[in-house]
A and B are shown apart, each in its own frame.
Chain A
């Protein structure tokens, strides 16, 4: 069966520090991969999605970037965090075509 792993689960970072969140999917090949951010009490904001290795689409201009170095690996990065980057980051995957989106357990980021 397919599983999705996301880490770290929680992190507290100072303003201006770098960020790296990692997500891996097991049990499937060529998944569509997504990074979402959710501010406290708010909805799901799509940040990036990828339909294949090295193919990244950005939905919102920001100081974040994403990379897909391997088929089932998706990384979210920042060189310098802002206070506004705080939130709950969710990685997700689905197979090609319309269908269920499976979310990772999330990474809660607090920028101080």
Chain B
């Protein structure tokens, strides 16, 4: 079955710098790759997603890139701000479109 690995587990960046979180997946049939942000004590919420027929997608300061050959996708956050501090989860669609989740990355924005 599908397996998703996410790195790093913790990422600390200076405010204003960029942050990159990477995920790899194992099932070449996966075709949907969302990223969720979870603030402390809150529910996860979708911030951006990408489908396998697209290599890159941007939404303001957030972008996701997908390399189907290498089976990895990445989240890029530019010009980081204090409100970007959260835990970020990647996921990949497995069989029956069930999402297989990465273990999460705690992003810390240093002032």
A interface, CB within 8 angstroms of B: 42-44, 46, 49, 90, 96-101, 103-106
Given A43-B89, A44-B89: A100 in contact with B46 (beta carbons within 8 A): yes
A104-B43 contact, Cβ under 8 Å, with A43-B102, A44-B89: yes
Of B11-19, B57-65, B76-84, B92-100, the segment with at least 4 beta carbons within 8 Å of chain A is B92-100
Assembled-state Cα–Cα distance A42/B87 (Å)? 10
Binary interface encoding of chain B residues 100-111 relative to chain A, with 1 for a CB under 8 A from any of its CBs, else 0: 011110000000
In the complex the two chains form, what is the Cα distance from A101 to B93 in whole Å?
A: 11
Tell me whether chain A's interface is mostly helix, strand or loop, or mixed.
loop
The answer to whether A105 and B49 touch across the interface, beta carbons within 8 angstroms, is no
Write the B4-16 contact mask toward A (1 if CB under 8 angstroms, else 0): 0000000000000
Interface positions of B (Cβ within 8 A of A):
31-32, 34, 42-46, 49, 51, 89, 93, 97-99, 101-104
A100 to B35, CA, bound (A): 10
What are 22 A-B residue pairs whose CB atoms fall within 8 Å in the complex?
A42-B103, A43-B101, A43-B102, A43-B104, A44-B89, A44-B104, A46-B98, A46-B101, A49-B98, A90-B44, A97-B97, A98-B31, A98-B32, A99-B32, A100-B46, A101-B46, A103-B43, A103-B45, A104-B43, A105-B43, A106-B42, A106-B43
By a CB distance below 8 angstroms, the chain B residues around A100 are 34, 46, 49
Q: A42-B103, A98-B93 are in contact. List 10 more A-B contacts (CB 8 A).
A: A43-B101, A43-B103, A49-B98, A96-B97, A98-B32, A100-B46, A101-B34, A101-B46, A103-B44, A106-B42
